[in-house]
Amino acid sequence: MQAPVPGGFFTKPMVLWPLLFCVSVLSGSLLFWLEVPAPFFVSAMLFGLVFSLAGVSLALPHPLFICAQALIGCGVAKCITPNVWQMLGSHWLLLGAIVCSSILVGGLVGWSLMKLRIIPGTTAAWGSSPGGASAMVAMAEAYGADVRLVALMQYLRVMLVVLTASTVAHFLLATKKPPDAVAGGILQLAGFNGSLQQLALTLLVTAVCSYLAYRLKIPAGSLLLTMIVGALLNSSGIVDFRLPGLFQIGASLFLGWYVGLGFKRELLASALKMMHWLFFSAFLLIALCALLSWGLHLLTACDPLTAYLATTPGGLDSVLLLAMDSQSDVPFVVAAQSLRLFLVILTGPMIARCICRLV
């Protein structure tokens, strides 16, 4: 059992969780008013980080994290229509090339960190892999890498990706929300437009997919399985996916807390001497993927924001939240990010071995 944090009543989880909830919702409401994409996710992540670095011992229960991923999968699934599959089929070759290029860029960054003897062993290869943060941490442990350092590199990049992508989305939005939409505020965002039957079917599909993903131990499975099955059902007209906006807000808060609270003060202190290199490598990978997004924008008809979100280096759930809330082409982003996640998981061990041989 984990030892309680000293400090009395105000350091107990029963007090800290409501406090974290209140500050996350209030700051998220402010960001929503400022028209920042995925406002509740960004605010929950930042305050989770603040609480964690302050030495607060909180961790999001894993079932809530699974629920958050599944709800995000539902949000993506309802954006998939029959026309989407035709569009994706016509761009599969270009998407494959862009995804493979981003994986090679991640391998190049990892090789550089090892060549310069900044990060030892295969840790650099796993830590600089562009996407699938939780999967990379789990696989790195099985291949003898420093799991704590891999986790730090992955989640540091996820946080930086969210902040940079949110900033880019804020400035690249083609249209702004009208004043009456902003005035509607959080109540309109949290509303529900649908029937109870639609809601029940949506929740049933979500629960079944989440359970199967958990039993089969698929990386990011609750998100991916719900997204794939839901997209097939929704695009074929079998199930009309509907969820209250309040569910999406809850998923954003859970996911933000999961990322923010994942940063441990002890881990950051132990890696303090190389922290500037970790920031540099994360920004370098983001910048190189941004160059790929510019090429994607020039070669296709997609807008700059969609191209940026499609190529930015993970995590999948975080980027999809930003895409759904920033007027970008969600199916295109889903296709690119999902394809990269699958390829990263499949090629991760091979790339790590190749990098070690080249050093």
Q: How confident is the model at residue 194 (pLDDT cuts 50, 70, 90)?
A: low
Q: What is the pLDDT of residues 110-155, one digit of tens each?
A: 888 888 888 876 788 888 888 766 667 666 766 677 767 887 788 7
Q: How confident is the model at residue 189 (pLDDT cuts 50, 70, 90)?
A: low
CA atoms within 13 A on the CB side of 38: 31
The pLDDT of residue 22 is 94
Q: What is the pLDDT of residues 51-108, one digit of tens each?
A: 988 888 888 888 888 888 888 778 777 766 676 677 667 778 888 888 888 888 888 8
Q: Are 135 and 345 in contact (CB under 8 A)?
A: yes
What does pLDDT average to over the chain?
78
The pLDDT of residue 139 is 66
Q: What is the pLDDT of residues 291-318, one digit of tens each?
A: 999 988 888 778 888 889 888 887 777 7
Query: Alpha carbon of 33 to those of 176, 178, 247, 259, 291: distances in Å?
Result: 12, 11, 19, 23, 31
Instruction: Indicate whether 220 pLDDT > 90.
Output: no
Torsion sign, CA atoms 75, 16, 150, 155: positive
Using alpha carbons, select from 311, 310, 318, 37 the residue that is nearest to residue 156: 318
Lowest average pLDDT, out of 97-106, 272-281, 319-328, goes to 319-328
Read off the pTM. 0.69
Q: CA-CA distance, 333 to 134, in Å (whole number)?
A: 20
Residue labelled with tokens 């270009």? 94
Q: Read off the amino acid at residue 190.
A: A
| Percent of the chain predicted with pLDDT > 70 | 81
The pLDDT of residue 11 is 65
The pLDDT of residue 94 is 83
CA 78 to chain centre: 18
Cis peptide before 110 (omega within 30 of 0): no
